[in-house]
Structure 1
Amino acid sequence: MTTIQAINLTKRYGTTLAVDDLSFTIEPGRVTGFLGPNGAGKSTTMRMMLGLDRPSGGSVRVGGKPYSELRHPLRTIGALLDAKAVHGGRTARNHLLCLAQSNGIGRARVEEVMETVGLTAVAKRRVGGFSLGMGQRLGIAAALLGDPEILMFDEPVNGLDPEGIRWIRTLMRGLAAEGRTVFVSSHLMSEMAQTADHLIVIGKGRLIADTGVQDFIARSSQSYVRVRSPRMAQLAPLLTGAELSAHGDHMRVIGLPASKIGDVAAGAGIALHELTVVEPTLEAAYMELTKDSVEYAGETVPA
C-alpha cells in the first residue's frame, strides 16, 4: 500500500505563515489522527496534500510522486474535506455518477458505496435537501468511490448521530485493517482515542508530536489522585513527598498512591468524601501539549 510524505511543507498567505517547515510520513495499515487547535494549519496542510493549494515551500509525495502526477487520483486517494462542496440540485446518485464517469468507474460501484454509507433509500433525493449528517455520508461515499489505497477525512463525524459516529469509527478502522492508509483530522479527542493508532499533532503550523496514541498520552500527562475532605487544611500537611494543588472543593495529589493517602487520613482520623485515581487521557495530554499554540483561548474552569 501507499505512504504519504510531507517534506518541509510551508505555506504563506502574505505575511501569515500558516504551515511552517512541516515534515511527516503517514503509513499504511493504521489510522493516523491529525490534531491541532483552530488555526494550526491542518486544513491548509490537507489541501496542499491534495494539490488544492500550492506550497510556498517543500513538497508532498504520494507513493513517491506529487499528487498532480497520479494517473488515476480518485483511485489512489479518496478525500472528504468539505461535505458542502456539492451541487445542491443533483441527486445523491447523480452526484456520485458524475464523479464515477469522470474517473472511469462503473455504475455498480456507485450503488455499492451508497449501500456502504446507508444512502440507498435517498439516492434520488436532491443533495440540497440533505441534513448535515447525510451530507457527510455522501462525502464519505465519494471518498470511497475509487476504492482507493489512501483515505483522508477532515472532521468526518460532523453532524453524525451516535450510531453514525460509531459507524465511521468502525469503517476507518476496517479500512486500516485492510492495509490502507487512513488520515483523519478531528477536534473530538474522545473519538481519536478510540479510533487512531498514531497521531500527528501541529500547532501554529509546526510539528508538535509524531507518535503513537499511548506514547503521546504517557509522555504528555500524568495520573493524579482527586481528594475531597471537610478537613483538607489538616490533611494537606500530612501528605509529605507529594505535589499538591487546590482546585475548588478538591485537591489534586501527584506522587502518592490512593492507598497511602487513605492510610494517612485514617491514621489522623480525617474523613474523606472522595478518593479517586484520575488516569491521563488523550484530551488532557492534548490540552497540556498544545496550550501554547492556541490562537483563541477562553477562561478554563478546573476539573
Structure 2
Amino acid sequence: MIEVSALTKRYGDKLAVDDLSFTVRPGVVTGFLGPNGSGKSTTMRMMLGLDKPTRGRVLIDGKPYAALDEPLTQVGALLDAKAMHGGRSARNHLLCLAQSNGIPAGRVDEVLDTVGLTAVAKKRAKGFSLGMGQRLGIAGALLGDPRILMFDEPVNGLDPEGIHWIRNLMRSLAHQGRTVFVSSHLMSEMALTAEHLVVIGRGKLLADTSMADFIRDNSRTYVRLRSPERERLLDVLRQEGVSVTEGAEGTLEADHADPARLGELAHENGLVLHELSPQSASLEDAFMQLTAQTVEYHAHTGAGPAAVPPGAAPPPPGGVQGWGENQDRKGN
C-alpha cells in the first residue's frame, strides 16, 4: 500500500504539488490522471525518493522509500524507459540491478522471457526501439517480484500486441493482490485497465474514486429516442415528468430515465420508435469535464488570431510557417 499525506512540492515560486493526500490500495489497478503540468511526474518521483517534498510524506507499506532494504524487492517502478546504460546489453543491465538488491541471477532470464526480450538479451540497449526500451524498463520493475508496482506511461512505443500484453499484465498483478499504480494520458487504455482513479489538476486532488463513479459523477448520461412522431413523443414524455431536451437530427434526449420505462410509455401510447439507446460518457469525456479549469497549456486550432502568442505580431502574408520560423530564430 502507498500512503500519500499532505504532499507538497515547490520549485521557487512554482507550486507543483499542493497538499496532496490519497492512498493506493492493493488488489486493483489505480490510474493516476491529470493534464500536462498537473504534477503527476513530480508526485511519482517523490514517492520513490527521487525528489524531496517541501512538506508532507509518502509511506510504502508504512516506511519511506529511503528506509526500505533492497527496495527493488518491495517496489518496482518504470518512470523513464531511457534510464539505462546504453552500452550494456539488456541482460547485463538487469543483472546489475539484480546484484545491487540481492536478487538471484536466474530471475533476470525469467523477466526477459516475461517481457519478450529473450532473443535480444545480448544486444546493447542503445540500439533498442522505444517499445523495446519500454519492455526492458518493465522487466526492471518486475525483477524483484515486488508487491508494489508503479508505471508512468507504460504503453509508450508499444505496438497493439504489446499494449494488450501490458494491460493484461497489470490486471494480473493486481489480481494477485499487488498494489499497481499507473499514470497515462491514453484515456481509452486507462478505461480498459484501471478500476480506481486518482485525478489531480495543478497539483491538487480532484478525484479519488472508482472508475464507474468517476464517469457517473462527471458526465451526463441519457437515453436517445428517435420517432417519426417526434412532437407527440415529446408531449408524452413531458406529461410523464421526464426531463427531455431536443437533440441533433430530430432526436430527443431523456436525462436520468429508465430505457425500459421509456419503451413502455411509447408502446402504451401507440408510438413507433426508430431508436431507443442509452448513452453514457467515456472516461475521456468525464476527464475533460472535471479538469477543464485546471489545464495549464491550451492549444488552438487553425491559423487565426487564437494561434498567435500574446504580445506577438500577427503572421505576415507569407503564412504561419514563415512567421513561426522567424520567431524561432529570435529565440521565442
> Which structure has the higher relative contact order (CA within 8 Å, separation 6+)?
1
DSSP 3-state at the match of 1:160? coil
Q: Which residue of 2 is the match for residue 147 of structure 1? A: 145
Q: CA deviation at 1:75?
A: 1.0
TM-score when normalising by structure 1 = 0.87
> Aligned partners of 2:251 and 2:296: how far apart in 1?
30
The farther-off stretch of 289-298 and 139-148 is 289-298
Q: CA deviation at 1:164?
A: 0.9
* Structure 1 residue corresponding to 2:11, chosen from 5, 10, 13: 13
AA aligned to 2:133 is: G
User: CA, structure 1 residues 174+10, in 2 after alignment: closer, same or farther (shift >3 Å)?
Assistant: same
Q: CA deviation at 1:297?
A: 3.7
Q: Answer whether contact 1:48 1:55 (CA < 8 A) is retained.
A: yes
Q: Answer whether contact 1:235 1:270 (CA < 8 A) is retained.
A: no
* Structure 1 residue corresponding to 2:209, chosen from 202, 208, 211: 211
What does 1:97-176 align with in structure 2 at a 5 Å threshold? Answer: 97-176=95-174
* Structure 1 residue corresponding to 2:195, chosen from 194, 197, 200: 197
The answer for unaligned runs of 5 or more in structure 2 is 302-332
The farther-off stretch of 97-106 and 246-255 is 246-255
The farther-off stretch of 64-73 and 49-58 is 64-73
Structure possessing the higher radius of gyration over alpha carbons: 2
TM-score when normalising by structure 2 = 0.80
Q: Which residue of 2 is the match for residue 41 of structure 1? A: 39
User: Deviations for 1:33-85, whole angstroms, at most 9, x for unmatched residues?
Assistant: 11111111111000000000111111111121111111111111110001011
Is the counterpart of residue 88 in structure 1 residue 74 in structure 2? no
Q: Which residue of 1 is the match for residue 296 of structure 2? A: 295
DSSP 3-state at the match of 2:294? coil
Q: Answer whether contact 1:235 1:265 (CA < 8 A) is retained.
A: no
- Percentage of matched positions with identical amino acids: 62
Q: Which residue of 1 is the match for residue 71 of structure 2? A: 73
Q: CA deviation at 1:190?
A: 2.2
Q: Answer whether contact 1:34 1:185 (CA < 8 A) is retained.
A: yes
Q: CA deviation at 1:141?
A: 0.1
> Aligned partners of 2:58 and 2:286: how far apart in 1?
29
> Aligned partners of 1:23 and 1:178: how far apart in 2?
26
Is the counterpart of residue 283 in structure 1 residue 281 in structure 2? no
Q: Which residue of 2 is the match for residue 57 of structure 1? A: 55
> Aligned partners of 1:99 and 1:246: how far apart in 2?
58
User: Deviations for 1:228-250, whole angstroms, at most 9, x for unmatched residues?
Assistant: 68998997677534242655886
User: Deviations for 1:9-48, whole angstroms, at most 9, x for unmatched residues?
Assistant: 0011111111000011111222111111111111100000
Q: Answer whether contact 1:10 1:57 (CA < 8 A) is retained.
A: yes
Work out the number of aligned pairs and report it: 297
> Aligned partners of 1:67 and 1:115: how far apart in 2?
28
Q: CA deviation at 1:220?
A: 2.2
The farther-off stretch of 231-240 and 129-138 is 231-240
User: CA, structure 1 residues 232+82, in 2 after alignment: closer, same or farther (shift >3 Å)?
Assistant: farther
The farther-off stretch of 286-295 and 21-30 is 286-295
The answer for unaligned runs of 5 or more in structure 1 is none
Q: Which residue of 2 is the match for residue 29 of structure 1? A: 27
Q: CA deviation at 1:105?
A: 1.7
